[in-house]
Amino acid sequence: MSIIRYQSPSLASALSPLARLSAFQHEVDRFFDLPFFGRESNRTVGWTPALDLHQDKDNLFVHAELPGMKKEDVTLSLHDGILTLSGERRSMPAEGDKTTVRNERFFGRFERGITLPTPVDATRVSASYENGILTVTLPKAEAAKPRQIEINVK
């Protein structure tokens, strides 16, 4: 894939630096939409659920939006400090003689890995799902929790 397409010189483009700059900007935008840059283009990637990561002194909390999904369609795993959320959102079956006029929702498989900022106790991780929001509670490992250090006076 080339970064800049060759265009034969024309009088109009030679006289219009703004047109050339606009074409160059378009090519740069296309280049950074490639998967190895981490930006996800709608042409190549379906969807990933939006999520928030919060913490207090004892836990990390992940809240992920999974509207219209069933609990059985979602999988969670924790390995080497990475929480992986994966699953599949299925499209709604066609009813009768209806035809789609507009389709803006994404369907299909997704997988999202979240690198956790602190070690967690994997044996105590819990998850709940309510009203399309998945909440994962990840208790911090004892070594990662802040602790009070007593000062001895001599």
Per-residue pLDDT at 4? 61
User: pLDDT grade, residue 5 (50/70/90)?
Assistant: low
Cβ–Cβ < 8 Å for 101, 125? no
Per-residue pLDDT at 118? 92
Cβ–Cβ < 8 Å for 65, 49? yes
Yes or no: domain 51-91+107-144 corresponds to CATH 2.40.160.60: no
Q: Give the tens place of pLDDT for each residue, 124-153.
A: 999 999 999 999 999 999 886 677 778 888
Cβ–Cβ < 8 Å for 129, 74? yes
Q: In what order do the strands lie in the sheet with 82-89?
A: 74-79, 82-89, 108-115
